[in-house]
């Protein structure tokens, strides 16, 4: 099979040659049509392009296998923009193979994962021996927040029934260990706005007039204790489910080399925590993504600004409801006399964490050990970033596991995005073993 | 004389037709040459264009009068830019007379004051009866901070000896009372910078990495108590000289209608003080002129910003040394663990307050009463803004009093800058009476 995949992944590489930029509304129809046609060419039992819930269409496909087990793949056909183009050594919308590397926008996130999964299906369809039933949910707005995923998964839950979900992808980390990702943190993005007057005033009036930047600074200051990195908003930790002993064991195995992190990122301050593995996995954070107020050019303008805004994101533990965050912030600010600060919810996603005791988790880890070697993978309870896994996990009550073809140098979202063919072939080998063992259960 | 001035101010109106924008290095040489020539045309005893201390040249002139008293005028020939031009109803570099109004960039600040003072000198030179000796110090970088004024006044202090200083201008306030300004507040402009890492990081790393905006917010929060509007930096009030009983009396007469101020400026918060007159005159303030950090565009970017900066200005009581402010901030931040916050001094000016008991103050006020009417002026210990008056007042140990031709609608620095001819003629009448009475003392 390895030789077959090595030869035939290029049967699907045209997907990389289509420019599909969700943020710029580029190539959505062309790409979704291409994906649906690829499924039809593989003799799928069912192919559907769903657009009944708005947003970019979702391509669904279903293949019949030799067992009654069903694996649902989540992938997405949209990518990040390729700009700035001058940082690319190759054409991002060509497919450039150099030694073991394949360069193209989307090869790491997420067209590449889809391509190698399609090649794997093709291999089995030609032989009529797909080990399990396979379903694909391929969406087109992951890079802009998957804002319709809950509607689509709920509206089409009959089609989406499965026994396990394999998430869009995964990667080897810097220590060349495969990360098997069992979930995602949640996120809530808020904007806080202070308005102090109808116009910017001459700053001499600071003798009697409050200004927006001071209101904002004083409000922000209330939200977090910088000594402990604790969020000070009452109620925010209520839904943080403590890690079980089994989960704690998993967390303890995470690679985290503090000295390397500090040097690599050039951190100017000590780490905020002695327990980074646990905190990355299970503690909410509050980040000021940006502040804008008043005069920001060269030199001096002695103005008392009327307007100040801050963009915040809260990374959430998997059980926290992002929509509750603005209410908690609102109540806390009100309670402290900051009723004048406007709090807006911009966007958010709930987190998700697969049950670490579910047999499918064990199966994926055991097969990874076989394919990658005993010390060559790590199970991550939930990735530190966000994503729409909850829309599948909560709905289907299943583990959602990310395994894929990337590596630490894949430059996902950046220039010169690439994967290594060896990793991709290994990922297909792993997928094959997962499917075979799952069929036998 | 009134009729003469009404006719002859236009002899000098070409000054308004020259574009002189210090911030853009436009018209400096042409204008300083024009001003020097105007003095020569008036048969000045001495005219000099000083450029020995760098910066834009200072035009100095000296006229001999009939008494041994000398009045030194401070004026400036540079103006603010006229942009945005589409907000002007007239050509800012033409001289447009409409009914009682004269429109032109600089007519209110400060070419207009200079023009009417020149017309007054011309009137007397033609008759050979200038009541006092007159000196002019006309600089060309007032609108960009007068950064060479201390050097020039010190280097040329022999030429600048006088018995009183009349400052660049003044205006009637909204109640149509002439403001006689006896000084200026000081100012210190600082920039605070926080750097937390070598690169912007993914915000999931907020679990262990401190970020620049949080450092900055926490540092700024330390600097001011928003309940009392007090600056919390130790030592900052040390050099605030309490008002004398005579000064307190003056302050109590200041026009300040809280309800009008709140409505006019659309203030969203209550006034910060019950004593706005005193605080505007004699209390330092700390203002955040601007904050910039991280992502400030539409939507969301979940970034942990490495860099955050704030521009601050401190309005200072007249005796405070602006250069001491960054040292006080530095010490206070260090003491509170914020050694990583960079503190830069950008620019500053010391304040100045004329001795309210000096006989020249009484003379200017008494003559104002005669010209404007008993309730039609108010003496302001120091204006709430800043300016280089200290360079003259401290050096010559003299009162520095601002009287001039503007009014509340002059739109100084803005579009449609204008004065009313009636006010200008009244100002010359006042100047004449000041000079006559001063000659007799």
**Crossing angle for the helix pair B421-440 and B359-372, nearest 10 degrees?**
140
Arithmetic mean of pLDDT, B188-195: 97
Cis bond before residue A222 (omega within 30° of 0): no
Residue-wise pLDDT for A16-42, tens only, equals: 999 999 988 999 999 999 999 999 999
Residues near A37 by beta carbon (within 8 Å), at least 6 away in sequence: none
Mutate to test the interface with B, among A289, A296, A302, A339 (most CBs of B within 10 A): A289
Provide the pLDDT for residue A391.
Answer: 93
Arithmetic mean of pLDDT, B376-382: 92
Residue B304, min C-alpha distance to chain A (Å): 6
pLDDT tier for residue B387 given thresholds of 50, 70 and 90: confident
Arithmetic mean of pLDDT, B66-92: 94
Provide the pLDDT for residue B415.
Answer: 86
DSSP string, A40-85: HHTT-SEEEEE-TTSSSPEEEEEE--SSS-EEEEEEE--B-----G
**Alpha-carbon gap, residue A405 to A108, rounded angstroms:** 7
**Alpha-carbon gap, residue B300 to A143, rounded angstroms:** 12
Nearest CA in chain A to B200: A265
Whether residue B196 and residue A267 make contact (CB cut-off 8 A), yes or no, is: yes
Whether residue B206 and residue A315 make contact (CB cut-off 8 A), yes or no, is: yes
Residue B225, min C-alpha distance to chain A (Å): 9
Backbone Cα Rg of chain B: 24
Mutate to test the interface with A, among B143, B204, B263, B337 (most CBs of A within 10 A): B204
Mutate to test the interface with B, among A196, A208, A311 (most CBs of B within 10 A): A208
| Nearest by CB: A268 against B204, B208, B340 | B340
Mutate to test the interface with B, among A227, A262, A300, A351 (most CBs of B within 10 A): A300
Nearest CA in chain A to B302: A289
- The alpha-helical segments, DSSP class H, found in B195-316 are 212-223, 245-252, 258-265, 276-282
Mean pLDDT for all residues in chain A: 95
Burial (CB count within 10 angstroms: exposed 0-12, middle 13-18, buried 19+), residue B3: exposed
What does DSSP assign to residue A26? B
Residue-wise pLDDT for B108-127, tens only, equals: 999 999 999 999 999 999 99
CB–CB of B23/B81 below 8 Å? yes
Provide the pLDDT for residue A277.
Answer: 95
**Alpha-carbon gap, residue B100 to B422, rounded angstroms:** 7
Provide the pLDDT for residue B386.
Answer: 80
Provide the pLDDT for residue A74.
Answer: 97
Residue A218, min C-alpha distance to chain B (Å): 6
Domains of chain A: 2-184+351-440 (3.40.630.10), 186-240+283-349 (3.30.70.360)
Provide the pLDDT for residue A211.
Answer: 97
**C-alpha dist (Å) from residue B78 to A99, A426, B29, B40, B163:** 66, 73, 11, 20, 26
| Separate counts of helices (H) and strands (E) for chain B | 14, 21
Across B346-379, b (16+ Cβ under 10 Å) vs e yields bbbbbbbbbbbebebbebbbebbeebbeeeebbb
Q: Which two tokens stand for residue A25?
A: 């509304």
Cis bond before residue B84 (omega within 30° of 0): yes
Nearest CA in chain B to A339: B269
**Alpha-carbon gap, residue A90 to A415, rounded angstroms:** 9
| Nearest by CB: B269 against A205, A290, A340 | A340
**Alpha-carbon gap, residue B266 to B262, rounded angstroms:** 6
**Alpha-carbon gap, residue B124 to B217, rounded angstroms:** 60
| Nearest by CB: B267 against A197, A221, A261 | A197
β-strand pairing of B58-63 with B133-139: antiparallel
- Chain B partners within 8 Å of A209 (Cβ): 265, 267, 269, 271-272
Provide the pLDDT for residue B315.
Answer: 96
- B133-139 sheet: strands from edge to edge: B46-50, B58-63, B133-139, B70-76, B164-167, B400-402, B178-181, B377-380
**Crossing angle for the helix pair A111-127 and A421-440, nearest 10 degrees?**
50
Question: At B225, is the secondary structure helix, strand, or coil?
Answer: strand
Residue B1, min C-alpha distance to chain A (Å): 38
Residue-wise pLDDT for A188-201, tens only, equals: 999 999 999 998 88
Nearest CA in chain B to A304: B289
Nearest CA in chain A to B23: A299
| SS (HEC) of B318-349 | CCCCHHHHHHHHHHHHHHCCCCCCEEEEEEEE
**Alpha-carbon gap, residue A162 to A70, rounded angstroms:** 5
Whether residue A198 and residue B266 make contact (CB cut-off 8 A), yes or no, is: yes
**Alpha-carbon gap, residue B350 to B389, rounded angstroms:** 8
Whether residue A267 and residue B294 make contact (CB cut-off 8 A), yes or no, is: no
Residue-wise pLDDT for B141-151, tens only, equals: 998 888 899 99
- Of residues B387 and B353, more confidently modeled: B353
**Alpha-carbon gap, residue B77 to B20, rounded angstroms:** 7
β-strand pairing of B303-304 with B307-316: unpaired
Residue-wise pLDDT for B300-329, tens only, equals: 888 899 999 999 999 999 999 999 999 999
- Chain A partners within 8 Å of B272 (Cβ): 207-210
Nearest CA in chain A to B276: A208
Whether residue A226 and residue B214 make contact (CB cut-off 8 A), yes or no, is: yes
**Alpha-carbon gap, residue B87 to A125, rounded angstroms:** 72
Backbone Cα Rg of chain A: 24
Cis bond before residue A110 (omega within 30° of 0): yes
**Alpha-carbon gap, residue B421 to B199, rounded angstroms:** 59
What does DSSP assign to residue A182? -
CB–CB of A216/A195 below 8 Å? no
CB–CB of A28/A54 below 8 Å? no
Provide the pLDDT for residue B145.
Answer: 82
Whether residue A199 and residue B266 make contact (CB cut-off 8 A), yes or no, is: yes
Mean pLDDT for all residues in chain B: 95
Nearest CA in chain A to B273: A208
Task: Give the closest residue to B289 by CA, choosing from B315, B264, B255.
Answer: B315
| Nearest by CB: A291 against B221, B266, B293 | B293
Cα pseudo-dihedral A19, A25, A30, A35, rounded to 10: 80
Q: Which two tokens stand for residue A173?
A: 């980390």
Phi, psi of B367 (to 5 degrees): -70, -35
CB–CB of B170/B404 below 8 Å? yes
pLDDT at A385 over 80: no
The upper half-sphere exposure of residue A275, i.e. CA atoms within 13 Å in the direction of its Cβ, equals 10
Provide the pLDDT for residue A268.
Answer: 95
pLDDT at A290 over 90: yes
**C-alpha dist (Å) from residue A172 to A219, A377, A419, B262, B332:** 41, 8, 10, 61, 47
pLDDT at B84 over 90: no
Across B308-338, b (16+ Cβ under 10 Å) vs e yields bbbbbbbbbbbbbebebbbebbbebbeeeeb
- Chain B partners within 8 Å of A272 (Cβ): 207-210
> What ipTM does this complex have?
0.88
Task: Give the closest residue to B190 by CA, choosing from B83, B80, B53, B332.
Answer: B332
| Nearest by CB: A384 against B196, B204, B310 | B204
Whether residue B203 and residue A293 make contact (CB cut-off 8 A), yes or no, is: no
CB–CB of B17/B93 below 8 Å? yes
**For residue A426, how far is the Cα from the chain centroid?**
22
pLDDT tier for residue B90 given thresholds of 50, 70 and 90: very high
- Chain A partners within 8 Å of B195 (Cβ): 268
Provide the pLDDT for residue A384.
Answer: 79
pLDDT at B297 over 90: no
**Alpha-carbon gap, residue A239 to A165, rounded angstroms:** 25
CA A373, A375, A381 angle in degrees (round to 5)? 110
Question: What proportion of chain A, given as a percentage, has pLDDT over 70?
Answer: 100
Task: Give the closest residue to A407 by CA, choosing from A253, A179, A89.
Answer: A179
Residue A307, min C-alpha distance to chain B (Å): 10
| Nearest by CB: B289 against A209, A229, A302 | A302
Whether residue B287 and residue A203 make contact (CB cut-off 8 A), yes or no, is: yes
Whether residue B294 and residue A304 make contact (CB cut-off 8 A), yes or no, is: no
Residue-wise pLDDT for A209-250, tens only, equals: 999 999 999 999 999 999 999 999 999 999 999 999 999 998
């Amino acid at each position: 099979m390895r030789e077959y995949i090595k030869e035939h992944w290029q049967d699907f590489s045209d997907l990389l040659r289509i420019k599909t930029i969700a943020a710029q509304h580029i190539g959505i129809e062309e790409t979704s049509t291409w994906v649906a046609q690829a499924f039809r060419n593989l003799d799928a039992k069912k192919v559907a392009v769903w657009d009944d819930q708005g947003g970019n269409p979702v391509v669904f496909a279903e293949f019949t296998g030799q067992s009654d087990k069903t694996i649902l793949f989540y992938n997405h056909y949209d990518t990040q923009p390729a700009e700035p183009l001058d940082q690319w050594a190759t054409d991002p919308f060509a497919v450039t193979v150099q030694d073991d590397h394949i360069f193209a926008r989307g090869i790491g996130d997420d067209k590449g994962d889809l391509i190698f999964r399609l090649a794997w299906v093709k291999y089995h369809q030609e032989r009529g021996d797909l080990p399990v039933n396979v379903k694909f949910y391929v969406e087109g707005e992951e890079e802009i927040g998957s804002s319709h995923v809950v509607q689509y998964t709920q509206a089409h839950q009959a089609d989406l029934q499965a026994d396990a979900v394999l998430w869009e992808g995964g990667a080897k980390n810097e220590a060349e260990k495969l990360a098997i990702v069992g979930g995602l943190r949640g996120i809530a993005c808020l904007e806080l706005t202070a308005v102090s007057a109808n116009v910017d005033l001459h700053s001499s009036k600071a003798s009697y007039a409050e200004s927006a930047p001071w209101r904002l600074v004083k409000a922000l200051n209330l939200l977090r204790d910088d000594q402990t990195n604790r969020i000070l908003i009452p109620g925010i930790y209520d839904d943080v489910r403590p890690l079980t002993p089994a989960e704690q064991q998993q967390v303890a195995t995470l690679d985290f080399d503090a000295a390397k992190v500090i040097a690599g990122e050039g951190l100017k301050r000590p780490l905020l925590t002695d327990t980074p593995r646990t905190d990355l996995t299970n503690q909410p954070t509050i980040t000021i993504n940006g502040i804008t107020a008043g005069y920001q050019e060269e030199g001096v303008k002695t103005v008392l600004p009327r307007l100040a805004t801050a963009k915040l994101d809260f990374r959430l533990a998997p059980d926290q409801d992002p929509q509750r965050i603005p209410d908690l912030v609102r109540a806390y600010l009100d309670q402290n006399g900051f009723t004048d600060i406007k709090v807006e919810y911009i966007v958010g996603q709930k987190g998700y964490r697969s049950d670490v005791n579910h047999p499918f988790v064990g199966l994926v880890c055991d097969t990874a050990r076989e394919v990658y070697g005993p010390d060559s993978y790590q199970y991550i309870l939930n990735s530190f970033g966000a994503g729409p896994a909850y829309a599948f996990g909560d709905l289907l009550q299943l583990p959602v596991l990310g395994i894929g073809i990337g590596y630490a140098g894949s430059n996902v979202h950046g220039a010169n995005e690439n994967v290594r063919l060896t990793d991709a072939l290994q990922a297909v080998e792993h997928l094959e073993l997962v499917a075979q063992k799952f069929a036998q259960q």
